[in-house]
Amino acid sequence: MALSVHTLPLCRFLVPRPQPTRSQGAPSPRLPLSSAPAPCRHKNQEDNHSYYVSRLYGPSEPRSRQLWVDVAEANRSQVKIHTILSNTHRQASRVVLSFDFPFYGHLLRQITIATGGFIFMGDVIHRMLTATQYVAPLMANFNPGYSDNSTVVYFDNGTVFVVQWDHVYLQGWEDRGSFTFQAALHRDGRIVFGYKEIPMSVPEISSSQHPVKTGLSDAFMILNPSPDVPESRRRSIFEYHRIELDPSKITSMSAVEFTPLPTCLQHRSCDACMSSDLSFNCSWCHVLQRCSSGFDRYRQEWMDYGCAQEAEGRTCEDFQDEYHNSASPDTSFSPYDGDLTTTSSSLFIDSLTTEDDTKSNPYAGGDGLQNNLSPKTKGTPVHLGTIVGIVLAVLLVAAIILAGIYINGHPTSNAALFFIERRPHHWPAMKFRSHPDHSTYAEVEPSGHEKEGFMEAEQC
**Residue 368 covered by a domain:** no
Final residue of a domain: which of 275, 300, 321?
321
Shared domain for 93 and 181, answered yes or no, is yes
Tell me which of 224-228, 256-260, 322-326, 342-346 is least confident.
342-346
Residue 311's pLDDT band, with cuts at 50, 70 and 90, is confident
CA distance 108 to 100: 5
Residue 37's pLDDT band, with cuts at 50, 70 and 90, is very low
Per-position DSSP letters for 43-95, written without gaps between them: S-EEEE-SSEEEEEE-TTSHHHHHH---GGGS-GGGEEE-TTGGG-SSEEEEE
Tell me which of 44-53, 123-132, 417-426, 428-437 is least confident.
428-437
Final residue of a domain: which of 228, 260, 292?
260
Shared domain for 255 and 170, answered yes or no, is yes
Among residues 159, 161, 155, the alpha carbon closest in space to that of 135 is found at 161
210-243 pLDDT tens trace: 999 999 999 999 988 777 777 777 888 999 999 9
Shared domain for 255 and 269, answered yes or no, is no
Q: What is the longest distance spanned by two Cα atoms in the chain? A: 95
Q: Tell me which residue range forms the domain holding 240.
A: 45-260
User: Given this model, what pLDDT does residue 412 score?
Assistant: 56
User: Given this model, what pLDDT does residue 120 score?
Assistant: 97
Shared domain for 166 and 239, answered yes or no, is yes
Shared domain for 172 and 268, answered yes or no, is no
**Residue 294 covered by a domain:** yes
Cα 27 to chain centroid distance, Å, stands at 49
**Residue 96 covered by a domain:** yes
Confidence check: pLDDT of 83 > 90:
yes
**Residue 78 covered by a domain:** yes
Confidence check: pLDDT of 100 > 80:
yes
**Residue 94 covered by a domain:** yes
Shared domain for 108 and 219, answered yes or no, is yes
**Residue 381 covered by a domain:** no
Final residue of a domain: which of 231, 260, 289?
260
Other beta carbons within 10 angstroms of residue 158's beta carbon come to 10
Tell me which of 100-104, 220-224, 264-268 is least confident.
220-224
How many domains is the chain partitioned into structurally? 2
Instruction: Give the CA-trace dihedral at 181, 161, 47, 57, to 10 degrees.
Output: -40
Confidence check: pLDDT of 77 > 60:
yes
pTM tops 0.75: no
Shared domain for 234 and 190, answered yes or no, is yes
- Contacts of residue 398, defined as CB under 8 A and 6 or more positions apart, other chains included, come to none
Shared domain for 215 and 317, answered yes or no, is no
Contact between 238 and 6 under an 8 Å Cβ cutoff? The reply is yes
Q: Three-state SS for 224?
A: strand
